[in-house]
A = this chain, B = another copy of it.
Amino acid sequence: MRPSERAPDVLRVVTLETGVNRYAEGSCLISFGHTKVLVTATVEENVPGWMRNKGAGWVTAEYGMLPRATHTRGRREAALGKQSGRTQEIQRLIGRSLRAVVDLKALGERQISLDCDVLQADGGTRTAAITGAWVALRIAVNYLLEEGVLKTDPIVGQVAAVSCGVFKDTPVLDLDYEEDSQAEADSNFVLTNVGDIVEIQATGEKRGFTRGEFEQLFALAEKGIGELFVKQLEAVSAAKPR
């Protein structure tokens, strides 16, 4: 039934390649099928003005899409002179999601910026970005621990995300673009490895959806995110020291 012939509860092929940027303290190229997001984690020894002298750090994210990441070329936001509402919404979501598993006091007065740039988009870019950003962040923090910059680990858990939707009246896991553009409902789940909810965004695109459908989407997300947690740990284990 699905254009990709996947069963409703099957993720696309997910790969996580680390060490893809020689300057960043952490980096990761994550693919969900044809969706490819390059994430770098940058550590800076200062915090934004409004955070200063609070004895705590900050984790933030920026999101961008190359103009031809999509079927038709989009206009470059730098040339337009502003980030779209969609871009800002996504980068706020990524930042919140990562902060949910970081003890900002333990991080100390430093900032980690997660730059998530979509090289190719086929649906699910924001959830791929969150999932990859955790890996880049984890590697950057490991580096700070190894260097002795940090004494205790400020990362208190794992976070990953996936999209689910109602496609032709069937709840399915990990929508690709073709499904997403026709889905009746679309949702993004961000969960932690202890099963807590970090963020749920669910929208009826073509029609409202029922509470029963929502329950099914939630169950699919829990299954998919469980698999992503394993992949995240594998990628971090395999990462070479900087």
Chain A contacts to B: CB under 8 angstroms: 21-24, 27, 34, 38, 40, 42, 44, 62, 64, 66-73, 76-89, 91-92, 96, 100, 113, 115, 117, 119-120, 185, 187, 191-192, 194-204, 207-211, 214, 218
Contact A210 B198 (CB under 8 A): no
In the complex, the answer to whether B76 meets A115 with C-beta atoms within 8 Å is yes
- Which residues in B have their C-beta under 8 angstroms from that of A115? 66-68, 73, 76
Complex CA–CA separation, A187 to B69 (angstroms):
32
Q: How far is the CB of A225 from chain B (nearest CB, A)?
A: 13
Q: Is the CB of B218 within 8 A of A197?
A: no
Query: In the assembled complex, which residues on chain B have CB atoms less than 8 Å from the CB atom of A209?
Result: 196-197
**Beyond A22-B120, A115-B66, is A207–B197 a contact (Cβ under 8 Å)?**
no
User: Separation in Å of the A31 CB from the closest CB of chain B?
Assistant: 12
Provide the bound-state CA to CA distance between A198 and B195, in Å.
25
B residues near A68, Cβ cutoff 8 Å? 21, 23-24, 27, 40, 42, 115
B82 x A85 contact (CB < 8 A)? no
Question: Chain B nearest CB: distance from A28 CB in Å?
Answer: 12
Main secondary structure of the interface of A (DSSP, over half): mixed
Cα A42 to Cα B73 with chains together (Å)? 7
A89 touches B92 (CB 8 A): yes
* A218–B210 CA distance with the chains assembled, in angstroms: 12
Could you say how many copies of this chain the assembly holds? 6
Complex: chain B residue closest to A218, CB-CB: B211
**Shortest distance in angstroms between A78's beta carbon and chain B's nearest beta carbon?**
4
A62 in contact with B79 (CB, 8 Å) = yes
By a CB distance below 8 angstroms, the chain B residues around A62 are: 67, 76, 79
Q: Are B100 and A208 in contact (CB under 8 A)?
A: yes
Tell me the minimal C-beta distance from A230 to chain B in angstroms: 19
Chain B residues with Cβ under 8 A from A185's Cβ?
197
Chain B proximity of A189: nearest CB distance (Å)? 10
A204 with B196: CB separation less than 8 A: yes
- With a cutoff of 8 Å between Cβ atoms, the chain B residues found around residue A113 in the complex are 67, 73
Q: Which residues of B contact A21 (CB under 8 A)?
A: 68-69, 119-120
Q: Are A200 and B198 in contact (CB under 8 A)?
A: no
Residue of B nearest to A85 (CB): B88
A204 to B198 CA separation, bound complex (whole angstroms): 5
User: How many angstroms between the C-alpha atoms of A117 and B201 in the bound complex?
Assistant: 24
